[in-house]
Amino acid sequence: MNHVCGIIVTFNPAPGTVENIGRISSQLEWLVVVDNGSQANTLEPIREASARLGFTLLELHRNLGIAAALNRGVERARNLQAQWVALFDQDSSSEPNLIESLLDTYTKEAPSSKVAIVSAKHLRCDTQAWMRPVFAIDGGPLVAITSGSLMPLSVFTECGLFEEDFIIDRVDEEYCLRVRTLGYTIVHCDQGILWVTLGNPRPFQLFGKTLFRATHYSPGRRYYNTRNRLIIAKRYWRLYPRWCYWTVSGLAKELAIVLIAEKQRGLKIRNTILGIRDALLNRMGMMIPL
């Protein structure tokens, strides 16, 4: 019994999601899967797995966004009297010793600092490359990806829950910068391996050479990705100017990739412009359907 409650958010999960759930469920004392309004045909395998593997399935019946779904999972973990939560995306695949490694890292680091998050080592499924984070001056990642994050539940009491008005995209970055401003640290666990997928990545090739990989995020996600990164920059540029510059300047690179390699270019550019407008006007919440 490790007092860890896993939280996985699903939305129209692919067939491999059940396998991912099975890999992580055996490492946890509890597992809560929060479904964000999936279609019946994609949700049924998760229902069957819930009965077979014994995890809790919370069906929200409509897509409330990743932040709201994570918060529902945290609330259930509190009711279960868990000590930690471990957060995962539906398309993340864990190594067998992931939770043990994350807990071991927390035990070693916590006595000397206020640790809010222990982050796994993220490897990309498509390239097998390490998604090396930007490291802060304290030696830990400045921000951590939600999937593969181990967090003590006490952090949510002191720092609050995930910001539901963000809906999706950059929810994790806002939370990481928030906990850092409140005196917490984030720790990297090199032994805890998690395989992750970013969007629907496809290589763009020219003369047989791969120049880059386009994520092919939906037009809706282009809106939230743009709006939320600008909102974060507005909030935290004084404390983290280099990171805010990096995340805002990255928008131009992503737009170039959309124009060169992705479909629905017009709609994605339009939603990007709407995201910029709404960030300037501080318009939050569900503005565009997912």
* Chain segment 231-251, per-residue pLDDT in tens: 999 999 999 999 999 999 989
149: which 2 tokens?
Answer: 């994050």
Helix axes 16-25, 40-53, angle to 10 degrees: 30
The pLDDT-based confidence of 290 (bands split at 50, 70, 90) is confident
Give the angle subtended at the CA of 76 by the CAs of 75 and 79, to the nearest 5°.
95
The CATH homologous superfamily to which domain 4-196 belongs is: Spore Coat Polysaccharide Biosynthesis Protein SpsA; Chain A (3.90.550.10)
Instruction: Quote the CA–CA distance of 76 and 56 in Å, as a whole number.
Output: 9
174: which 2 tokens?
Answer: 């806002």
Contact between 159 and 180 (Cβ < 8 Å)? no
pTM for this prediction:
0.93
Proportion of the chain above pLDDT 90, given as a percent: 84
Instruction: Quote the CA–CA distance of 214 and 260 in Å, as a whole number.
Output: 9
pLDDT of 198 > 80? The answer is: no
Instruction: Quote the CA–CA distance of 236 and 241 in Å, as a whole number.
Output: 7
Domain residue extents for the chain = 4-196, 202-280
